[in-house]
Chain A
Amino acid sequence: MADGVSDATRDDLLRVENLTMRFGGLVAVDKLSFTARRGDITAIIGPNGAGKTTFFNCITGFYKPTEGRIALAHGSEAAFEALPAATFRGKQWTKANGACAVFLLERMPGFEIARLARVARTFQNIRLFAGMTLLENLLVAQHTVLNAASGYTIGGLLGLASFKRAEAAAIDKAAYWLREIGLVDRADDPAGDLPYGAQRRLEIARAMCTDPVLLCLDEPAAGLNPRESHELNALLLKIREEHALSILLIEHDMGVVMQISDRIAVLDYGKKIAEGTPDEIRADPRVIAAYLGVPDDEVEDVGAEVGL
C-alpha cells in the first residue's frame, strides 16, 4: 500500500530512538530506532527471542528501558517540535500548539501510558479478567472515564444521575464492541469460558474500549485457525478505518502480516535489520537469513537450496 497519496498524509506518530533494554548481560533490544506513522498498520516481525515483546513492554511502560527515548505525538507530527525542550526539562509529557501533545513514554508509568498517552495493548499470553463477564471486562477497560464520572466513588455511592448516565453510555459502548467482535450473545458469560479465538478478540475489544490512538497487538493470530485469522484481518482493517487508529502488530503468521500491514520492521537479536513495505521485506536477503538462521553471505546458497 505504498501509494504516494496516503504516504503524504501520514505523518509520524511514534518515534523510538536508540532504545536499549538489557537484562543483566543479555541485550534484548539493542539501540533500536524506529518510526511508526499515524494511520498505518506497522508490523514487527522477527524470529523467536528477537526482542519484539520486550520492545512492546518498553513502549507500554511495563519495562523501563535501559537507554533511549520513546516519543508519541497526539494531534500531528508538529508536536515533536516540543520534544527537545520536554526532554531537557525532564517532563513526562507536554502540550504543543492546539490539540497536539507529545509524550515521553519511557518516563511514564504503565497505567498513565494507557490513560493519558492512550496506548493500548494485548498480550502474547492472553490476559483477560477470567472470572468476570465479557461485559465487565469491557467496563473495567473504561475505568478512567467511569471513575471520574462517579466522582471518584463518592458521587457513585450517593447515586448521582450523571454517573448513571455515564454507566449506561459505557454499557452501550461495551455492547457495540461485543457486536463488532461477534460475541454479544455471550456478554454475560465469564471471559475464562470463551474459546481461544474469542478470547483473543475480546482482548482486542477491551483494548479498544480504552479509546487508544495506538493499539499494540502481540501475536493476535497465534493459535487461530485460517478462517479465524482471516476474520481477524477484516476486523483490524475495519477498526483502523472507523476509529482513526494506528496499529503496531507483532505477528508470526505471514498471511496476516503481508496482507494487512503498510510497513514492516524486522528485528533480530534486538537489532532492526530491515524496514520497508511488505514487498520489500519479502525480497530482503537479510530477513530470509534471519529466519533461516544463517549468516548473510550464505543466503544466496541456502536460498537456492530451498528454492527461493
Chain B
Amino acid sequence: MTDTLQPETSPVTRTLPRGHITADVLKDAGITFVIALLLFGSIVGLRTDTVNGVLVLIPQFGKALALATAVAVGRLLLDVFIWRRMTDGRTFASLIPSALPVLKVAGAVGVTFGLALYSIPGFRASLVAGAGSGHPALGAITDLITFACESTFLVIAAMSIVRAARLVIGQTPDEAVGQGILRRFTADFGREFPIALLLIALALPMLTAGPSQRYAIDTATQILIYVMLGWGLNIVVGLAGLLDLGYVAFYAVGAYTYALISTQFGWSFWVCLPLAGFFAALWGITLGFPVLRLRGDYLAIVTMAFGEIIRIVLLNWQSLTGGPNGINRIPKLTFFGLPFERTGDGTFASVFGLKFDPLHRMVFLYYVILALALLTNFITLRLRRLPIGRAWEALREDEIACRSVGINTVTTKLTAFAIGAMFGGFAGSFFAARQGFISPESFTFMESALVLAIVVLGGLGSQLGVVIAAVILIGSAERFRDLEDFRMLIFGLSMVLVMIWRPRGLMSGRTPSAFLNARKNISGSFVKEGRG
C-alpha cells in the first residue's frame, strides 16, 4: 500500500513546475481582482450624500479600482512568496538571499538618492510635482519614497557621526571587528540608534530649509507632545501594568491649569508649569484611590469614565472654563520674558537685532517641548533604577508576591498614577501655551486611545518604542492628511498587522534595572503585561 501514498499537501500550498507558476498566479490574481472589484464597487464605488437636502449618488469608481488593485497585488505577492512552491519544494522567498547583492545595490542607490535629495532642497518638490502632474496618487507615492530616502540618509548620517565620535574617544564596539560593512555598522545599534535620534532631534530646525521648514518643525513639535504623553503613560501602563484609558484627563488638567492661571493672574509659563504638574498629579491620586481595587478590564472602563467626566465638567462649568467656547487668548510662551511679536520694543527680534520671523517662535517651542520630553525620559529612566521603579515593575509582574515582600501596593500604585499624570500635565500646559486656545474638544477619548496606541505599538515599557510609534502614528497621520477617508482605515489596519506580527509591540522585551555580571536584555515573552 505504501506506493499509493500521496505526498503531503496543505490546502493552500501547491507545488508546481516553474513554468506553470506565472500563468497560474496571474489567473489567481485576476480572479481576486474581479471579486474585490465587485465588492468594493458597491461599497466604496457608490457613495450617497445629501446635497441641499436631496440625496445624491456620487460615483467613486477610481477609489474602488485602486482598492481592488491593492488586494490583487497583495494576493499576487502572497502567492509568489509564500503559497506556491517550486518543484523542489522551496518558496520564492527562499531565493531572496541570492538577491541580496541586488538589494544592497538598491539600498546604496536609495541612500545616494536621499543624499542628493537632501542637498538640493528644490529637487524633491519638482520631482513630486512632476509625478503628480501624471496622477495625484503618483505624486503622493513619489513624495513618500523620496521622504523615506531622505530620512534613511539622515539616520545613517547621524549614526555615522555617533560612531565616528565614539571612535575618536576610543570606544569601539567589540563585535565590530572583521565582518561585513553592514554588520559592522549596526554592531552597536541598540546604543547608537537612540543617540543618533537625539542628534537628529537636536539639529532638526537646522536640517530643514525652504518652504517645508515650518511644516517640518510644526509636525516635529506635534510628535514630541505625543512622545512626552506616551512616556508619561508608559509609567502607568508599561511599568506598573495599570491599564489607564483616561490619560487625556491629566493632559486636560494641565492645559486648563495653565490657561486659567495665566489668563486670570498673568503668571508666566514657567511658574505655571510646576503647578500644572502638581494639579495633574493630584488628580492622578484622586483617580487612583477609588480604582485601587479594580483590575484589568474594570480598571480600564473606570479610568475611561474618569477621562470623560473631566471633559464633561470642562464642557459644563461655563463660568470657569468657558464651556464649549473654551479659553481664548492664552498668553504665548516668551523667550525668558521677551515676547515673539512683530512690533514693539523688547521683543525677541528687536533685542537680538533680527528681522521678525514667525519661525523664531516655532523653533523655540520645538526646543521647549524637546527639553520637557527629554526631562521626562531622564526622570523615568532614573526612576526605573530606583526601588520605586522596580516596585512598579514587580507590581506588574505579580501583585501578591509584592505584598509578601513588604511592598505597600497602595502607595506604589498611587505614585505611578501621580508621576504619570504629572508628565501629562506638563505636556498639557505646553499644549495650551502653543495653541493659545483650548476647548474640551481637544481632550476627547480619541486622544487617550491614541496615546495608549503609541505605548502599546511601541512595546509596553520601552522608551525608544514610544518614540518610534509616535513618529509612525502621528507623523503618518500628518502626512496622509489629504487621504482623510483612509487615515483611520490605515491606522486600524497597521495596528492589527503589528498585533499579529509583533504582539508585544515594536520594541518588546526589557532591559534589566541592575545586573551582576552582564546586562542581558529580557525577551518580551517573559514579561507580563499586568492585570491592573
Residue of B nearest to A148 (CB): B387
A111→B514 CA distance, assembly (Å): 24
Contact B406 A129 (CB under 8 A): no
Q: Are B394 and A140 in contact (CB under 8 A)?
A: yes
Closest A residue to B385 by beta carbon equals A156
Q: How many A residues touch the partner, as a band?
A: 35 or more
Query: Does chain A have a CB within 8 A of B336?
Result: no
Within B5-56, the residues touching A (CB, 8 Å) are none
Chain A minimum-CB-distance residue to B407? A143
**Chain A residues in 8 Å Cβ range of B519:** 188
Instruction: State how many angstroms separate the Cβ of B390 from the closest Cβ of chain A.
Output: 5
Q: Is B127 an interface residue (CB 8 A)?
A: no
| Interface: B501 (CB within 8 A) | no
CA distance A92 to B401 in the complex (A): 22
Check if A115 is an interface residue, CB within 8 A of chain B: yes
Which of A61, A129, A157, A206 is within 8 Å of B393, CB to CB? A129
Q: A60, A147, A157, A209: which has the most chain B beta carbons within 10 Å?
A: A147
Chain B residues 266 to 290 lying within 8 A of chain A, measured CB to CB, are none
CB A58 to nearest CB in B, in angstroms, measures 14
Contact bitstring A99-133, B, C-beta under 8 A = 1, else 0: 00000000000111011000011010001111111
Encode contact with A along B395-430: 1 for CB under 8 Å, 0 otherwise: 011101111111111000001000000000000000
Chain B nearest CB from A156 CB (Å) reads 4
Given A146-B387, A171-B516, A190-B526, verify A129-B407 contact (CB < 8 Å).
no
Q: A135 with B528: in contact, given A127-B400, A150-B386, A157-B379 (CB under 8 Å)?
A: no
Chain A 205-224 interface mask (CB, 8 Å, partner B; 1/0): 01101100000000000000
> How far is it, in angstroms, between the C-alpha of A130 and the C-alpha of B527 when the chains are bound?
7
CB contacts (< 8 Å) of A209 on chain B: these are: 405
Q: B394 contacts A129, CB within 8 Å?
A: yes
Closest to B518 in A: A188
Contact between chains at B401 and A127 (CB < 8 Å): yes
Chain A residues positioned under 8 Å from B397 (CB to CB)? 128-132
Whether B391 contacts A120 by the Cβ 8 Å rule is no
Contact B390–A139 (Cβ < 8 Å): yes
Residues of chain A with a CB closer than 8 A to B513's CB: 136, 139
User: In the complex where A121-B404, A171-B516 touch, is A131 in contact with B387 (Cβ < 8 A)?
Assistant: no
A144 contacts partner chain B, Cβ-Cβ < 8 Å? yes
Measured between beta carbons, the chain B residues less than 8 angstroms from A110 are: 403-404
Is the pair B523, A143 in contact by a Cβ cutoff of 8 Å? no
Whether A190 contacts B401 by the Cβ 8 Å rule is no
Question: If the complex has contacts A130-B528, A192-B526, are A175 and B516 also in contact, measured as CB distance less than 8 A?
Answer: yes
* A131 near B526: Cβ-Cβ < 8 Å: yes
Among B391, B415, B516, point to the contact of A135 (Cβ < 8 A).
Answer: B516
Q: Please, how many angstroms separate the alpha-carbon atoms of A133 and B523 in the complex?
A: 11
Q: Is the CB of B401 within 8 A of A129?
A: yes
A51 to chain B, nearest CB (A): 19
Contact pick for B405, options A130, A131, A140, CB 8 Å: A140
With a cutoff of 8 Å between Cβ atoms, the chain B residues found around residue A132 in the complex are 390, 393-394, 397, 512, 522
B398 CB, min distance to chain A CBs, angstroms = 5
A187 and B516 contact, Cβ closer than 8 Å, known pairs A114-B406, A157-B386? yes
Q: State in angstroms the CA–CA spacing of A144 and B406 once bound together.
A: 7
Instruction: For the complex, give the distance between the alpha carbons of A193 and B512 in Å.
Output: 14
Cα(A156)–Cα(B406), bound, Å:
20
Is A36 located at the chain interface by the 8 A CB criterion?
Answer: no
B520 near A: Cβ within 8 Å? yes
In the docked arrangement, what's the CA distance between A189 and B526, Å?
A: 10
Which of A111, A144, A189 lies in contact with B520, CB distance below 8 A? A189
CB closest chain-B residue, reference A216: B404
Given A131-B522, A157-B386, A171-B514, decide whether A143 and B406 contact each other with a Cβ distance below 8 A: yes
Type the 1/0 row for A130-164, where 1 means its CB is closer than 8 Å to any CB of B. Answer: 11110110011101101100100100110000000
Closest 8 CB pairs of A and B: A131-B527, A115-B406, A114-B406, A129-B397, A187-B516, A192-B526, A127-B401, A146-B387
Q: List 10 A-B contacts (CB under 8 A).
A: A62-B403, A111-B406, A128-B397, A135-B512, A135-B514, A136-B390, A157-B382, A167-B514, A178-B516, A187-B517
With A131-B510, A139-B390 given, name 17 new contacts (CB 8 A).
A62-B400, A112-B406, A123-B401, A127-B400, A127-B404, A129-B397, A129-B401, A130-B397, A130-B398, A130-B526, A130-B528, A133-B514, A141-B405, A143-B394, A153-B415, A171-B516, A191-B526
Which positions in A face B, CB cutoff 8 Å?
60-62, 110-112, 114-115, 120-121, 123, 127-133, 135-136, 139-141, 143-144, 146-147, 150, 153, 156-157, 167, 171, 174-175, 178, 184, 187-193, 206-207, 209-210
